[in-house]
Structure 1
Amino acid sequence: MSDTILPTSAFDVAEVRARLQQVGELGADEDVTVRLLAGGRSNLTFEVSSPNRSWVLRRPPAGELLETAHDMGREVAVQSALANSGIPVPRIVYSSSDAPHAGGSYYLMDKVDGTVLRTDADFESVPFSQREALSHQYIDSLAALHTQDVEAVGLASFGRPEGFLERQVRRWTKQLSSSQSRELPELDRLSAALAGSVPAAAKPSVIHGDFRFDNMIVQLEPHPSIAAILDWEMSTLGDPLTDLGLVHLFWEGWKGIDNPIAGTPTSHAGYPPFSALAQRYSSTTGTDLSNQVWYNAFAFFKMAVILEGIHTRFLNGETVGDGFDNIGAMVAPLTERGLAALTA
């Protein structure tokens, strides 16, 4: 294989090429090239290309994995279930749950054309006249996901919504203890505060778990739309307001923090504030948002735990790509904002 831009241990390119041929996606005489895609600071994401078309391959990161994280089977299951639901997800081409050459599992999906809005420069590049409409598409896509009939799409057993919030706090606290590289007493304090103030859960739905523009393909012409929602590794059946709490974090909650992960829309004129998105979401879904501050605080906690895990893998030399060296510095300010949200 030629022009392969990836660690030699990332996966067996010849094996992947054979599987594409097996399922009729690649001709017998066609070769493939591979490149590491931007982003993917958790799972590893690659573009696999033939002379005529491209696919995207996802596999777990190198090194020790957090329990319940990096679940390729989960991504395959939810994307397959939502394929005909109106939620924009790429078609699954091939998946394997027994792939020692690819971190244990991997899958291939169609590559969807469009734009990923990842950085502040990306958000600034969106024409001013399109920013509000794009924002509405974003929050409306979340509302559409949360109002799916889980029985109809075959996801009624996709998770255990009973006791979901309590388990989430325990699970992320456990993952913190298994992946941290330093003492983090304020993050421990935030964990305890969340555990001691869990609200009554909203009606359960399919949730994404990482709903931000960095995990989407958008198209701006002829009008703004969400072409594909990606990165379903944290999806499950649970409390939808945990997704909305993450929307708050990504939309404005981490504004002002030195952030190599993703831009913040409300740092730019023309993007409506989170309060406007939350009101639109509530009107569409009929969901009571009176306890939203708890979910916002939980989002700060969850992101801090995730970033601490990535920081530890960076220190151990187990990451691929740029932008990891500053991620550990985000943990403390995210923790502070989570504590502040609970006491506001």
Structure 2
Amino acid sequence: MTGTLTGLDLPRLQKFFDDQVPGAGQLRAELLSGGRSNLTYLLTDGRCSWVLRRPPLGGLTPSAHDMGREYRVVAALRDTGVPVAHAVAQCDDPSVIGTPFAVVTYVSGRVLRTQADLDAFGDADVIRCATALIDTLVALHAIDPNAIGLGDFGRAKGYLGRQVRRWYDQWTRVATRDMPDIETLHSRLAASIPQESEARIVHGDFRVDNTILDPADIGTVRAVVDWEMATLGDPMADLALHLVYRDPAFDPVLGGGGAAATSPRMPAADDLVQRYAVASGRRVANLPFALALGYFKIAVIAEGIHARHLAGHTVGTGFDSVGEAVPALAAAGLAALREPGSC
């Protein structure tokens, strides 16, 4: 497509590419499938391909859609062994396409979004995939942020408390209805913030469909994507959120039909925790709190998507069911706090 897509002014973008990406030809663009937050487009000039990310239309949670942060962490991780796309260009000027955006190289591969996507693979491959994801998370958390210029990427202390406050603030911005369980969950989290471990780079949204896998071997991660919520923080929050995505309560957020992450063919949460603990050498302390925080965060994100859908600001299909997930996620968060050690 060579005209203007929803959320993307291609003629203006072409001028930006002519200036910032030497050798780029006439661009074509299409909206990539998947994603419930930032908008993602595939760009090509017939010779090279790139991916552009921009905030959602009518975004109601601005701190969760910081293109500059996403671009910076991807650029810093390039030579660390954590698989990422290569950073190409960043634009903070809203006059180009109406909002800040970032461009990275296109990484070809397979994205496992639904349980049906797993049907082509045997159980051993699915387990290898899940193991590779945990090992990638371990590799990310092993990096010294100061060694790659990210020592100031976030405040090293108080991450968990800031997360509780930030996501409750987001709730007050996006809530479309009263939900007592969210209020109770927030109160209990705020009253039980644990001591944190050493701050490391956290992805903030680590799950199987935020990775690109080798099409010939789903046990190989070619790139981790969607770094919009990355910062410095407690690694346990990343692990716990990865476990939250194992819960079928998450299914409606991706349009229903069974998310790949919730497949019963994936290893049990306890097995994933054990793999992380052994591979990282970290104590998996404070897991109930981190799980509850993960449920709280995803519930708020789902409500934000639901609010944008009600306002007519979503692009693509599969948004009708997202709002259904919020009560179940809030209830699961409360259950995690009531059941120490639960995964």
Q: TM-score, normalised by structure 2?
A: 0.93
Gap change, CA 1:201 and 1:292, over 3 Å in 2? same
Aligned residues: 337
Gap change, CA 1:103 and 1:209, over 3 Å in 2? farther
1:278 counterpart residue number: 273
Output the amino acid matched with 1:16: L
2:5 counterpart residue number: 6
Do 1:207 and 1:243's aligned partners in 2 also have CA atoms closer than 8 Å? Answer: yes
1:163 counterpart residue number: 158
Q: Equivalents in 2 of 1:105, 1:259: separation in Å? A: 25
Do 2:73 and 2:227's aligned partners in 1 also have CA atoms closer than 8 Å? Answer: yes
- Secondary structure at the counterpart of residue 340 of structure 1: helix
CA deviations on 1:236-282 (whole Å, 9 max, x unpaired) are: 001111111111111x223585453571445243x321111111111
CA deviations on 1:280-306 (whole Å, 9 max, x unpaired) are: 111122221232011111111000001
Q: Equivalents in 1 of 2:303, 2:95: separation in Å? A: 26
Q: Equivalents in 2 of 1:5, 1:212: separation in Å? A: 31
CA deviations on 1:49-75 (whole Å, 9 max, x unpaired) are: 112221111111111431411100000
- Secondary structure at the counterpart of residue 152 of structure 1: helix
- Secondary structure at the counterpart of residue 79 of structure 2: coil
- After superposition, residues 36-47 of structure 1 pair within 5 angstroms as 36-47=31-42
2:263 counterpart residue number: 267
1:177 counterpart residue number: 172
CA deviations on 1:2-32 (whole Å, 9 max, x unpaired) are: 455731xx132122223333344544xx322
1:21 counterpart residue number: 18
Q: Equivalents in 2 of 1:290, 1:222: separation in Å? A: 33
Return 5+ residue gaps in structure 1 as ranges: none
Q: Equivalents in 1 of 2:55, 2:217: separation in Å? A: 36
2:184 matches 1:189:
yes
- Secondary structure at the counterpart of residue 64 of structure 2: coil
Give 1:98 deviation, angstroms.
1.3
Q: Equivalents in 2 of 1:115, 1:302: separation in Å? A: 27
- Secondary structure at the counterpart of residue 43 of structure 2: strand
1:34 counterpart residue number: 29
Give 1:123 deviation, angstroms.
2.5
Output the amino acid matched with 2:88: V
Do 1:255 and 1:264's aligned partners in 2 also have CA atoms closer than 8 Å? Answer: no
Return 5+ residue gaps in structure 2 as ranges: none
Do 1:26 and 1:50's aligned partners in 2 also have CA atoms closer than 8 Å? Answer: no
Gap change, CA 1:257 and 1:221, over 3 Å in 2? closer
- Secondary structure at the counterpart of residue 98 of structure 1: coil
Do 1:92 and 1:110's aligned partners in 2 also have CA atoms closer than 8 Å? Answer: yes
Q: Equivalents in 1 of 2:126, 2:251: separation in Å? A: 23
The percent identity for this pair of structures is 39
1:74 counterpart residue number: 69
Do 2:131 and 2:219's aligned partners in 1 also have CA atoms closer than 8 Å? Answer: no
Do 2:13 and 2:96's aligned partners in 1 also have CA atoms closer than 8 Å? Answer: no
Gap change, CA 1:62 and 1:255, over 3 Å in 2? closer
Output the amino acid matched with 1:188: E
Q: Equivalents in 2 of 1:264, 1:114: separation in Å? A: 16
Correspondent of 1:214 among 209, 223, 236: 209
2:307 counterpart residue number: 312
Do 1:204 and 1:238's aligned partners in 2 also have CA atoms closer than 8 Å? Answer: yes
CA deviations on 1:102-121 (whole Å, 9 max, x unpaired) are: 34201111110100111111
Do 2:212 and 2:223's aligned partners in 1 also have CA atoms closer than 8 Å? Answer: yes
CA deviations on 1:302-333 (whole Å, 9 max, x unpaired) are: 00001111111111111111111110110001
Q: TM-score, normalised by structure 1?
A: 0.93
1:297 counterpart residue number: 292
Gap change, CA 1:147 and 1:138, over 3 Å in 2? same
Q: Equivalents in 1 of 2:29, 2:41: separation in Å? A: 7
2:112 counterpart residue number: 117
Q: Equivalents in 1 of 2:180, 2:21: separation in Å? A: 54
CA deviations on 1:157-203 (whole Å, 9 max, x unpaired) are: 10012111111101100110011111111111111111111111121
